[in-house]
Structures are given as structure tokens and as C-alpha cells.
Amino acid sequence: MKTIRNWKLVVSVVMCLGLFGAGSAFPETRGVTKDAIQMGMILVKTGPVAALGLPEGWGIQDTFDEINQTGGVNGRKINLIWEDDQFKTPLSISAFNKLIFRDKVLSITCMGGTPQTIALFDLIDKHHVVNIPNALAEEFYKPHKPYVFVLGASYETQIELMFDYIMNDLKAKDPRIAVVYAETEFGKKGLEAARKRAEQYGIKLVSELVLNIGSVDASSQVLSLKKDNVDYVVTCNLVPPIITFLKTAEKYDYWPTTFGISWSCDDMVVKACKDASKNYIGVNFVGGWEDDTPGMKRVRELAKKNDRDPAKMLTSLYTIGVGTATVLAEGMKRAGQDLTPESYKDGMETLNNFETGGIVPPVTYSSTSHAPTTVARLYRAAPDKGVMAPITDWRSPKEMK
Amino acid sequence: MTEGAIYFLQLVISGIAVGSLYALVALGFVLIYKATDIMNFAHGEAMMVGAFVCYALVVAGIPFLWAVLMTTVIAMFFGLATERLILRPMIGEPQFAVVMVTIGLSIFLRSVSGIIFGHDNKIFPSQLSEQTLVLKGLVLSYTHLWAMLISGLMVILFFLFFRFSRVGLAMRGVANDQDTAMLMGISVKRVFALTWGLSFAIAAVAGIFLANVMVLNIAICLVAIKAFPAVILGGLESIPGAIVGGLVIGVLETLVGGYLDQTMPGVKDLTAFVVLFLVLMIRPYGLFGKKEIERV
């Protein structure tokens, strides 16, 4: 009897040691196993603004798939779980909780948009969720948020570049500038930035008009701008309202130079508006679809390989997706074998002028700043080619007091 | 004319153009309410489906006019099927339940359309001339001109239909009192089916016009929300009311945008709903509605 008891004791001790040993060899980390990494993504894929989320999500998905096909990150395959928030903050919060508590993901690539990310700041911090938000507001990095890494030029930078272009490249004398914006978080950020930059240049904005997403017509806005002899229209809006605006302006034979931020700097505007887009200039922090750079060549190949038709999607957003996934994967790689939320963050913070081959400008983060680059490029509509063609190199806004 | 007068007139004309699009949308709402006493909250989605179907046909190489005709017929059958499969089982149920069914239908149609047609932005290969008509400095696009003509034509046709045709009279009878209409030998089921078919066909036409002036995506169905105040303003069961309501909302919205948006940014998009509140408070049965109508 005693022998049996001793034998059971020995087996139990051996099993415990075995388990302990296995645990020591691979300590349990949320979302990380020996050969896989669970990643989440919150991006709209159904509903009225799905056209924005889908191409970006495809870009991220395709890039991770490509990385998996070439061996993964440090031998681990990335398993991406895409949650649809329909661009609604409550859904975004529930998706976040599902990804963290049920799917136990290591991190979440993006949080849905500006309001969603702001609503999730506390949870991101609490659960140490490394992410690159698909929005560009200044409060994402001011004050410093340890787990939020902003990629791309902020709305403020983009608007500043538009004013700089008007004042320094076009050498406008007493320009009459108006702002047309969507009544959304990003639209209001753009308006604030335009007011600030106009003040720095000593200009008074002629008018500030709202053009909301889903507007049937922009006649009142266009007629009002025309009456006020506005020469330059700075917009902070999405592709559909910009198309409506440019087509309406053409109808009234009104041809101001119109500027758009990255969300509306897309070839689709040119394809839809044709000649109506001839005075349209966009600011963007990603390479042009036809750019002859290694990065953009890779983006085009990825799209082709995955049957993403550039004529049917917002190509600039697909490019942002590829850029986002490339940067996130590099951060993971730099975190090494011991991948945890903390080591992932540390890995991201070692990025110093990280080159994506022209997909996005060189990326730099540090332990004290996750601010995005301050460089972007200006593109002008080329109706004959149906594309937004670059008209400047990467540039930063002029330093002004 | 002074510059100020031209500006005002141009805003009014643009408002009429936009209003005629709202009127087309409102017409479908009214048609169903007039005959069945149901407010169809899936009307915007019916419009969206029509626009997608026409887009698919044009992209497949079918000439635009044929595509419009085919879409109208398809939409009509779709309306008939909707009535037969979804709404007929609801006959006799409380009105609230039927309205909830239309809300469910709207969500279903939006999701299914996304699956079938995709969630991306589509540029409708517009066959309506993008040229503009300029008269004494006042500008109007041919697309809007067509929308105005079609709206006007619809009013006349429906006025004649409801006034003089047997089916039209039967529809009015059913709307007035379903039990009495049945006792008079009117097939209420057939009237309902026809109404839904016609309403979906009109929705398709409205959707096609909207797709010609906007980017085509799922969000196009949200225009129906703008047409709703037009319906209330005109009177829930008045066809001329839908047209007048649409035009008034379109003109008011554009005038407010042209004169007040600079000082109160965003007020333009509130106009329709301010009108909605005012009408509901002051004249809940609308400009042309009957006092005894029930609101949902």
C-alpha cells in the first residue's frame, strides 16, 4: 500500500515538474504561442462607410498573409481576427473587449476611427494594446500615449502643407481661402488646423462651410464660395462629398484650386470627376499608386495577387493598410522571441527612420514620442490619366510661430 | 437682374432640382401609406437596390434606357415578392408590428446588398447628359431637369390613376377602410401587392437618379431620411403633397445653406428636421393631408 502511495507521489511530482518546465520554456503571453500570434483588427467592413475600411483592412490582411507565406515573424504565423465596428463607437468597444478577453489577442492593429480610438484610450493603456490607429488627430500622441503609435502625417500637418503650398509655391497674394469640412471629428480637427494656420499667415478665412457625408448636392456651398470670390478651397472630407463638390463646382463654371486631405486624395476622385477635378490637389502620406518605388511596386503586386481591383477600391487606403501592417510586423520582429505587449512596444520604439520603400515616409518612434512623421506629399489630379500625380517631394510644413 | 437677385434665384432653382429628387423618394413613401396605412421604413433600401441593379445592368453592357426599364420591372416584381412573403402574413397584425417588420427588412436589404453588390464606392456610368442648361445666367443640369420632369409626370399619372382608374379607386377604398373595402368586393391582398410593386418601382427610379448625382454605395439609402420630412410636410397620404413637400424642403435647405451656413455652419442639414418638428407641432396632418390621419 505504501509503495503504491509513494509511486503516486512520484508521478504527481514528475507531472508537476513537467508542467512547470513547459511553462518555464514558454511562459504564457496573451495571444502568443510557440508558432502563432493572435492579432485583432477593428475596422468597418459593412454599412455606409465600409468603402473606407475595406481597402485598408485588405491591405493589412494581405500583408500579414504575405509575411506568413515567407515564414512569419520570428517563426510565428500571424492570425488576424477582423472585427467590424460599422464605424460605431459602442460596437468598437465591444469588439475590443471580445478581442482581448475571448480571442486573447496580443494587440489590435487599429480601433475603427478617431472617435472610437479616443473612446478606447483607457482600455488600450490598461491592457497594453500596441496599435496604429487609422486616424491622425494630434491628441493621439499629445500627451504621449505609450501604446498608440501614429502613422502618417496628422490632419494638422496636412492642412499646414496646403496653406504653405498656396503661400509659398503658388505665391498667392492676399488669397481668398475658405474651408469646407464634414461635421465629423476629423473634419473639425481640419477646420481648427486651418484657422490656426491662416492666423499664422495673417489671413482671414473667407468662410467655413459644412458639406456632410451623404449630401445629395453642394450647390449652396459652391454658390456661396463663388459669390465670395474664393480662390482656394481647403477641404477636410471624404471621397464622396469631394466628388459631389467638384462636380457641382463644374456645373456652375467655378474653378477654385481645391485641396483635400489624405482621406480624399485618391484616384477615384479623378476617375469620377474627370475634367471637374483638374484644379484638385490632395495631400497624402502614402506613395502614389503608380509610383516607381520598390514599396509601391510591392503594394501593386500584393493587390494583384489577392485580386484587389484598383479601379474598384480606394487605392490610397489599401496602401495605408500595407504600410500599417509592414510597420507593425517590423515592431514584432524587433521584439524578438520573447514577444509580450511590453516587448512589442519596445520593439516599435526602436524604429528609427525605418524605410518601407516609398509606401510611407521613413518611420521613427522613441520611448518618449509616438508622434507621426511630419512629412507628406502633394498630388494634383491628372484627368487625362485618371490619377492623382505627385507634384512635390515629401515635405514638412514650414516652421511658423 | 442684380447679383443678389441672381444668387437668390440660382439657389431657388438648385433647391427645386434637389427637391425634385426628394419628391421622387417621398412619392414612394406616400403611395404605400395611402393604400396600406403603413410607413415603409425600408423605402430607402428599395431605392438603393434599384440603383445597384441598374448599375449592374449598365456595367453588363445593357443600354441605359433599357437598363432603367428592366430595373423598374425587376423592382416591381421585387415589391410584389416582398409583399407576398413578408407583409401579407402581417395582415391583421398591429400597425406597430408591421412597421417593425419594415425596419427589419431595411436592415436585411442593406446587408444583402452589401454581400451581393459590395460595400465599395461605385461611380454610376451616367448616361444622363452632364451638360448644363444656362438661361440668363441661371444654371441647371440636365440630370436635375430630368428628375424634375419625371417627378411632375409621376404626379400627373398618379393623380389620374387614383382619380379615374378602378385599381386606383380600389386602393383609395382599401386605405380608407379595409373591412368595408373587402365587403365591397375589393381584393385587399391584390391592392396591397400592387401598391408595394408600384412603390418599389418608383423607389428604383429615384435611386437611379440619385446614383447619377452621387457616389453609389450603401449610404445612398440614407437620402430617404431627408425625404421623410417632405412626406410629413406634404401630408402622409397626399401625392401632390409629396411633390410639394419635397420641393419645399429642397428649396428651404438650399436657401438656408446659401444664406445662413456661413454664420451657423451645419444649419443646412438641420433645416428639413426643423420643418418636420414645426409641421408635427402646428399641422401634424401636413399641408395636404387629412385631419383624421394616424401617425406612426
Q: Please return the burial class of A116, using the count of CB atoms within 10 Å of its CB with bins 0-12, 13-18 and 19+.
A: buried
Higher-confidence position of B98 and A95: A95
Mean pLDDT along residues A83-99? 95
Query: Any CB–CB contact under 8 A between B11 and chain A?
Result: yes
Q: How far is B43 from chain A (nearest CA, A)?
A: 16
By C-alpha distance, the chain A residue nearest B138 is A252
What is the percent of chain A with per-residue pLDDT over 70, rounded to a whole number? 93
CA distance A373 to A356: 13
pLDDT range class, residue B127, cuts 50, 70, 90:
confident
Least confident range of A283-292, A323-332, B57-66, B175-184: B175-184
A311: distance to nearest CA of chain B, Å?
10
What pLDDT was estimated at residue A10? Answer: 58
* Range B203-222 average pLDDT: 90
pLDDT band at A15 (very low <50, low <70, confident <90, very high): low
CA distance A47 to A90: 15
Which residues lie below 8 Å from residue A87, measured CB to CB, with a gap of 6+?
A44, A47, A48, A49, A52, A53, A112, A113, A116
- Give A226-256 pLDDT, tens digit per residue: 999 999 999 999 999 999 999 999 999 999 9
Q: Give the CATH fold of the A155-284+378-390 domain.
A: Rossmann fold (3.40.50)
**Could you read off the pLDDT of B262-290 as tens digits, one per residue?**
888 889 988 888 988 888 888 888 788 77
pLDDT value of position A344: 97
B247 contact A CB<8A: no
Q: Do B139 and A251 touch (CB under 8 A)?
A: yes
If one counts every other C-beta atom within 10 angstroms of the C-beta of residue A1, the result is: 5
Residue A269: C-alpha distances to residues A246, A377, B132, B210 (Å): 9, 17, 21, 18
Contact residues, A window 182-201, toward B, CB-based 8 Å cutoff: 183
CB atoms within 10 A of CB A159: 29
pLDDT at B177: 80
Sign of dihedral through CA atoms A41, A46, A47, A48? positive
Hey, are the CB atoms on A217 and B254 less than 8 Å from each other? yes
Q: Who among A51, A212, A220 is closest to B120 (CB)?
A: A51
Q: Is B7 on the interface with A (CB under 8 A)?
A: yes
What is the pLDDT at residue A25? 47
Euclidean distance between CA atoms B279 and B241, whole angstroms: 13
Task: Count Cα atoms within 13 angstroms, Cβ side, for B83.
Answer: 23
Neighbour tally for B96: CB within 10 Å: 9
ipTM: 0.86
The CA-atom distances, in angstroms, between A106 and each of A35, A60, A371 are 13, 16, 22
* b/e burial code for range A15-28 (CB count within 10 A of at least 16 → b): eeeeeeeeeeeeee
Which residues of chain A have a CB within 8 Å of the CB of B114?
46-47, 50
How much is the pLDDT for B295? 55
pLDDT band at A22; cut points 50, 70, 90? very low
C-alpha gyration radius of chain A: 24
Mutation target among B12, B22, B214, B267 for the A interface, most CBs of A within 10 A: B214
Question: What's the pLDDT band for B143 if we cut at 50, 70, 90?
Answer: confident
CB B82 within 8 A of CB B196: yes
- Give yes or no for residue B239 having a pLDDT over 70: yes
d(CA A121, CA A141) in angstroms, rounded, equals 11
Q: Average pLDDT, whole number, for chain A? A: 91
Digit-coded pLDDT (tens) for B9-48? 999 999 998 998 999 899 889 888 888 888 899 999 999 9
**Cα angle A325-A327-A329, degrees, rounded to a multiple of 5:** 65
Tell me how far apart the alpha carbons of residues A63 and B239 are, in angstroms, rounded to a whole number: 54
Element at B72 (helix H, strand E): helix B64-82
The pLDDT of residue A1 is above 70? no
More confident: B291 or B172? B172
In this prediction, residue A24 has a pLDDT band, given cuts at 50, 70 and 90, of very low
Angle at A231 between CA A229 and CA A234, to 5 degrees: 120
Which positions in chain A touch B268 (Cβ < 8 Å)? 210, 220
Domain residue spans of chain B: 25-228
Residue B137's closest chain A neighbor by CA? A252
Closest CA to B199 of B24, B22, B17: B24
Weakest-pLDDT range from A122-126, A192-196, A291-295, A372-376? A372-376
| Angstrom distance (rounded) from CA B226 to CA A342 | 49
- Tell how strand A280-284 and strand A232-236 pair up: unpaired
Instruction: Select from A216, A222, A308, A312 the residue whose CB has the most chain B CBs within 10 Å, as the one to mutate to test that interface.
Output: A216
Distances (CA, A) of B84 to B45, B73, B192, B197: 18, 17, 9, 10
pTM: 0.85
Considering only residues A114 and A80, tell me which one the structure prediction assigns the higher pLDDT.
A80
Tell me: pLDDT of B111 over 80.
yes
Cα A212 to chain centroid, rounded: 21
Please tell me the predicted confidence (pLDDT) of residue A257.
Answer: 98
Residue B146 has pLDDT above 50, yes or no: yes
Alpha-carbon gap, residue B156 to B150, rounded angstroms: 10
Strands (E), A305-383: 377-382
> Which among A208, A220, A247 has the least Cβ separation from residue B254?
A220
- Rounded CA-CA distance A270/B65 in Å is 26
Q: Is the pLDDT of residue A14 over 60?
A: no
A382 φ/ψ angles, rounded to the nearest 5 degrees: -115, 90
- C-alpha cell recorded at residue B71: 430595373
pLDDT at B66 over 50: yes
Query: In the prediction, which pLDDT does A229 show?
Result: 95
pLDDT at residue B294, as a whole number? 55
pLDDT value, residue B238:
85
DSSP string, A235-291: EE--HHHHHHHHHHHHHTT---EEEE-GGG-SHHHHHHHGGGGTTEEEEESS--TT-
- Give yes or no for a contact between A112 and A87, defined as CB atoms under 8 angstroms apart: yes
User: pLDDT tens, A275-286?
Assistant: 999 999 999 999
Buried b / exposed e over A140-153, threshold 16 CB at 10 Å, is bbeeebebbbbbbb
d(CA A123, CA B122): 37
Closest CA to B268 of A188, A212, A190, A245: A212
Q: Residue A361, preceding bond cis, omega within 30 degrees?
A: no
CA torsion sign for B136, B139, B145, B151 is negative
Kindly state the average pLDDT of the residues B229-257.
Answer: 90
Q: Which of 35-54 (A) contact B at CB < 8 A?
A: 45-51, 54
CA distances to A153, A376, A388, A400 from A394, rounded to whole Å, are: 11, 5, 15, 19
The per-residue pLDDT of chain B, averaged, comes to 88
pLDDT value of position A31: 92
Which of A46-55, B129-138, B254-263 comes out lowest in average pLDDT? B129-138
Per-residue pLDDT tens over the stretch A149-163 = 999 898 899 999 999
- pLDDT bin (cut points 50, 70, 90) of residue B291 is low
- CA distances (Å), origin B192, targets B34, B87, B147, B261: 11, 9, 27, 43
| Residue A169 half-sphere exposure toward CB, CA atoms < 13 A | 14
Q: Are the C-beta atoms of B214 and B220 separated by less than 8 Å? A: yes
All three cell numbers of A223, joined, read 454658390
A320 neighbors A106 (Cβ within 8 angstroms): no
Contacts of B110 in chain A (CB under 8 A): 47
Confidence of residue A20 (pLDDT cuts 50, 70, 90): very low
A386 touches chain B (CB under 8 A): no
In whole angstroms, give the CA distance from residue A136 to residue B118.
Answer: 27
Mean pLDDT is lowest, of B70-74, B85-89, B283-287, for: B283-287
Residues 237-276 of A with CB under 8 A from B: 239-240, 243-244, 247, 251-253, 268, 271-272
Strands A377-382 and A387-390: antiparallel
Where, residue-wise, is CATH 3.40.50.2300 in chain A? 36-153+291-370, 155-284+378-390
For the stretch A285-327, pLDDT in tens is 999 999 999 999 999 999 999 999 998 889 999 999 999 999 9
Classified by CATH at the fold level, domain A36-153+291-370 comes out as Rossmann fold (3.40.50)
Rounded Cα gap, residues A168 and A162, in angstroms: 10
The torsion angles phi and psi of A323, rounded to 5 degrees, stand at: -60, -45
pLDDT by residue (tens digit) across B45-54? 999 999 999 9
CB-based contacts of B154-160 (< 8 A; 24+ apart in sequence)? B154/B24, B154/B27, B154/B202, B154/B243, B155/B27, B155/B239, B155/B240, B155/B243, B158/B27, B158/B31, B158/B239, B159/B239, B159/B240
Mean pLDDT of A346-362: 95
Chosen for mutation from A87, A223, A317 (greatest number of chain B CBs closer than 10 Å) is A223
Can you give the C-alpha Rg of chain B in angstroms? 19
